[in-house]
C-alpha cells in the first residue's frame, strides 16, 4: 500500500511528465492541405463563361471582374461559404480549392447547366424587348429591330403575330439580360444545375 | 517599461477570458467555437478561457446575423465588459448576413455598425484554427501593452 503510493507520487516528478505538463501543445494552427478553403486561382485563363457566378448559392460571394485585358473571378470573403460549387462549375478549371479538382477527375464528375425560359403569357404584352436585348439573338440575326420580329429560325425567341415564341431554348446562355429588359417582369430564366458522373469501368482508368 | 508592467502585460496576455453571444446564427459557428474548447484544439493551452459572463470577459465573440431581438441588448452586453476589451465576429453572418440577408428577412448585418469590432473571421463556418488565430492576434495587438497605450 505505502509503496504503491510512493510509486504513484514518483510519476509526478518524472522529468518527462513535468515537461509535458508545462509545455504540451496540440497540433499547430495550420489548415491541412485537403481543407476546402476559399477558392484560389489556378492560373488558367478565365473565359468569362460565368458558370461560377451562376452556381454560387451565396449572395454576393463571387464576381467576375476585369483584370488587364482578361477576366478574373473575385471571391468576397464574408460572403463566400466555401461550398466549392464554383470550382466544380467552371469548365476551364480557373479556380481550385482543397482537392475538389482531383476528386472530380478521379470520380469523373461534372456539373452541367441548362436554362429554361418561362414566359407568363398573361403579363407579356409582346413588346419584343427581350428578343432585341438577348445577345444570342443579336448574333443569330443582326437585323432584328425593335419589336422583336425576325424571319430567322436560329434565334432563341421572336415575336410572331403579337405573341412571343421561344424557338431555341437550348441556345440560352443564362445571362438574364432579357429579364432585366422586360418592362412587365413577364420573362423568367431558370438555371438548372445537374451533377453528372461518368461510370468508371473496371480495369480502365 | 518597468518590470512590474512587463509582468502585468505577460500575465494579461496569457489570461484572456472569452464570452460568446449568439445574435441569431444557424448554430454552425457556435459548434466551431465549441470545438475550440475540445482537446483537439484546446484553447486553454494558449491561456484563453471561456466564461460567458461579460463582467469577467476580455473578448466578446459575436456569432450570427443580428436579429431584431438583439437591438440594444448587444450594445448592453458590450458595455458591461470592463476595459481592456475587444469584440471579434465569427463567421459570415456578422459580416454580411451570409445566406440569411435576403429580401424580406429581418436581420440587420453587419454587426460592426452596432458595436466596435476588432477582428472578423470570415467563413461559413470558419475553422477553429481561424477563430483561435483571430483571438491570438487580438491578444497581441489589444492586450499586450494596454496601459502604455492608454495612459
Ligand atoms: S465556394 Fe461556393 S459560396 Fe464561395 S464563391 Fe464559390 S460557389 Fe460561391
Ligand atoms: S437569358 Fe440571355 S441568352 Fe437566355 S434568352 Fe435571356 S437574354 Fe437570351
Ligand atoms: S420583354 Fe417582356 S413583355 Fe416584352 S415580349 Fe418579352 S416577355 Fe413579353
Ligand atoms: S456564418 Fe454560416 S455557419 Fe456561421 S452562423 Fe452564419 S450561416 Fe451559420
Q: What secondary structure, in 3-state letters, does B108-147 show?
A: CCCHHHCCCCCEEECCCCCCHHHHHHHHHHHHHHHHCCHH
Atom 7 (ligand 4) nearest CA: B26
Segments making up each domain of chain B, as ranges:
16-143
Quote the cell numbers at residue B111.
Answer: 454587426
Indicate if the pLDDT at residue A88 is higher than 70. yes
pLDDT score of B32:
92
| Ligand 3 pocket residues where CB is under 6 Å | A 119, 124-130, 164, 182, 184, 186-187
Mean pLDDT, residues A113-130 taken together: 89
Residue ranges per structural domain of chain A: 40-107, 117-189
CB B85 within 8 A of CB B60: yes
pLDDT at A113 over 80: yes
Q: Is the pLDDT of residue A205 over 70?
A: no
Give the fold, CATH level 3, of A117-189: Alpha-Beta Plaits (3.30.70)
Measured CA to CA, the distance from residue A1 to residue A5 in angstroms comes to 6
Average pLDDT of chain A, as a whole number = 86
> How close, in Å, is residue B25 to chain A by CA atoms?
14
pLDDT tens, B53-62?
899 899 999 9
pTM: 0.78
Residue A192: strand, helix, or coil:
strand
Class level of CATH domain B16-143: alpha beta
| Average pLDDT rounded to a whole number, residues A173-202 | 85
Neighboring chain A residues of B99 at a CB cutoff of 8 Å: 57-59, 81
Q: What is the mean pLDDT of residues B18-45?
A: 89
Determine the atom of ligand 3 nearest the C-alpha atom of A133.
Answer: 1
- Return the CATH number of A40-107, one of 3.90.650.10, 3.30.70.3270, 3.40.190.10, 3.40.50.150: 3.30.70.3270
Spell out where A126-186 has E strands.
157-160, 163-166
A40-107 and A117-189, same CATH topology: yes
Distance from CA of B36 to the nearest CA of A (A): 11
CB contact at 8 A, A63 and A76: yes
Give the pLDDT confidence score for residue B51 in this predicted structure: 82
Q: For residue range A130-150, list pLDDT tens digits in order.
A: 888 888 888 888 888 778 788
Kindly list the residues from chain B whose CB atom is less than 8 angstroms away from the CB atom of residue A59.
Answer: 96, 99, 101-102
CA separation for the pair B135, B119 (Å, rounded): 8
Residue A200 — very low, low, confident or very high, per pLDDT cuts 50/70/90? low
Query: ipTM for the complex?
Result: 0.82
Amino acid at each position: 500500500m505505502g509503496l504503491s503510493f510512493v510509486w504513484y507520487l514518483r510519476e509526478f516528478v518524472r522529468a518527462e511528465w513535468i515537461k509535458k505538463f508545462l509545455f504540451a501543445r496540440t497540433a499547430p494552427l495550420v489548415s491541412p492541405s485537403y481543407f476546402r478553403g476559399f477558392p484560389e486561382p489556378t492560373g488558367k485563363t478565365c473565359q468569362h463563361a460565368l458558370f461560377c457566378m451562376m452556381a454560387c448559392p451565396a449572395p454576393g460571394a463571387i464576381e467576375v471582374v476585369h483584370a488587364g485585358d482578361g477576366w478574373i473571378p473575385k471571391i468576397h470573403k464574408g460572403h463566400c461559404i466555401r461550398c466549392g460549387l464554383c470550382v466544380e462549375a467552371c469548365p476551364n478549371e480557373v479556380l481550385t480549392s482543397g482537392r475538389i479538382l482531383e476528386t472530380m477527375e478521379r470520380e469523373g464528375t461534372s456539373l452541367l447547366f441548362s436554362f429554361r425560359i418561362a414566359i407568363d403569357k398573361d403579363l407579356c404584352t409582346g413588346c419584343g424587348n427581350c428578343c432585341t436585348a438577348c445577345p444570342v439573338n443579336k448574333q443569330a440575326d443582326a437585323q432584328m429591330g425593335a419589336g422583336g420580329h425576325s424571319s430567322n429560325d436560329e434565334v432563341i425567341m421572336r415575336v410572331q403575330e403579337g405573341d412571343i415564341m421561344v424557338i431555341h431554348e437550348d441556345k440560352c446562355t443564362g445571362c438574364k439580360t432579357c429579364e432585366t429588359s422586360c418592362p412587365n417582369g413577364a420573362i423568367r430564366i431558370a438555371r438548372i444545375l445537374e451533377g453528372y458522373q461518368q461510370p468508371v469501368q473496371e480495369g480502365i482508368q | 517599461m518597468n518590470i512590474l508592467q512587463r509582468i502585468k502585460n505577460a500575465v494579461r496576455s496569457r489570461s484572456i477570458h472569452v464570452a460568446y453571444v449568439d445574435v441569431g446564427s444557424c448554430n454552425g459557428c457556435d459548434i466551431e467555437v465549441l470545438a475550440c474548447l475540445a482537446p483537439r484544439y484546446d484553447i486553454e493551452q494558449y491561456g484563453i478561457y471561456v466564461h460567458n459572463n461579460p463582467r469577467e470577459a476580455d473578448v466578446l465573440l459575436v456569432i450570427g446575423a443580428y436579429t431584431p431581438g438583439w437591438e440594444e441588448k448587444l450594445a448592453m452586453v458590450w458595455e458591461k465588459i470592463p476595459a481592456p476589451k475587444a469584440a471579434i465576429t465569427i463567421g459570415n453572418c456578422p459580416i454580411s448576413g451570409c445566406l440569411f440577408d435576403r429580401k424580406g428577412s429581418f436581420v440587420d448585418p453587419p454587426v460592426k455598425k452596432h458595436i466596435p469590432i476588432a477582428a472578423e473571421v470570415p467563413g461559413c463556418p470558419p475553422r477553429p484554427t481561424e477563430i483561435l488565430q483571430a483571438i491570438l492576434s487580438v491578444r497581441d495587438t489589444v492586450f499586450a501593452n494596454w496601459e502604455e497605450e492608454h495612459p
